[in-house]
Amino acid sequence: MDEPFSALDVLTAETLRTDFLDLWSEVKLPIKGVLLVTHNIEEAVLMCDRILVFSTNPGHVIDEIKVALPQPRSRLDPRFRDLVERIYVAMTVRTPHSLPARAIAIDTVLPRVSINLLSGLIEAVAGFPYNGRADLPVIASSLHMEVDDLFPVAETLQMLRLADVEGGDIQLTELGRQFAEAGVDDRKKLFQRQLLAHVPLAAHIRRVLQERTNHTAPRSRFLDELEDRIIRDVAEQTLRAVTAWARFAELFAYDDESETFSLDNPT
């Protein structure tokens, strides 16, 4: 079952999970096993007897967790919460034996994460009761975010050196704390510096625009360059992401009608 409950509203999804578990426990299903693919950590602990945690680039199993809790399981059970925490830790742990992370390059795939989400997570971690460091499952619950929504935001903050993510926690860096406390203009300046320093595609677009006499370039110029390295849909996503971030940072401008980047009045 590949994300069987992800498109449902919360109450319907919970009802169907319960119905499925009842049928399974009463041996009313003519099958010997079920493989469930999910990004919902609590769903995995609630339903599964064995959990495999996967990582990316390249995809590989990083942990195997046996769930010995009897059914029906309660989310309030401390043992349940411990298992959820263990999975978060497994997904964020760094060890000397981990596969080396891919260096950030022009063709690094960027998630479609909005500035509002980035700012919101920074502000939430900076505020009470976290004061700069938060347990990922706890803050995910407080913000009503699934892991597949939370992780891209947290990882983007880490890429920009505004936060560190490790051992199931997210901790703001000094720059992250400065961002949380800054006004809009200072946030834009700080974000611009981090984009130029840590997102090569943003720095590349800016450099091309500076080198051209009219300081403009068509979107197709950069999209074609990305498509030489990554598939079209991913290239489109990555270019849209860096464009949105650069607009906020006033690093360069983009005109939707002419599909042209420029250095004129970046907004």
Tens digit of each residue's pLDDT (9 = 90 or more) over 123-159: 999 999 999 999 888 898 888 887 778 889 999 999 9
Check whether 87 has a pLDDT greater than 60: yes
Check whether 99 has a pLDDT greater than 70: no
**3-state SS assignment for residue 27:** coil
Give, as one character, the DSSP assignment of residue 102. Answer: P
Write out the two tokens for 7.
Answer: 């498109």
Per-residue confidence (pLDDT) for residue 101, from 0 to 100: 44
Check whether 103 has a pLDDT greater than 70: no
Residues with Cβ within 8 Å of residue 97, at least 6 apart in sequence:
none
d(CA 120, CA 143) in angstroms, rounded, equals: 10
Residues with Cβ within 8 Å of residue 234, at least 6 apart in sequence:
109
d(CA 189, CA 204) in angstroms, rounded, equals: 18
The residues with which 208 forms a beta bridge, in sequence order, are none
Average pLDDT over residues 6-17: 88
Residues with Cβ within 8 Å of residue 46, at least 6 apart in sequence:
17, 73, 75, 80
Q: What angle do CA 145, 63, 171 make, to 5 degrees?
A: 45
Per-residue confidence (pLDDT) for residue 89, from 0 to 100: 83
Residues in the chain: 267
Per-residue confidence (pLDDT) for residue 90, from 0 to 100: 83
d(CA 256, CA 261) in angstroms, rounded, equals: 9
Reported pTM:
0.76
Average pLDDT over residues 24-39: 88
Torsion of CA 234, 236, 240, 246, to 10 degrees: 90
Residues with Cβ within 8 Å of residue 124, at least 6 apart in sequence:
130, 134, 139, 142, 143
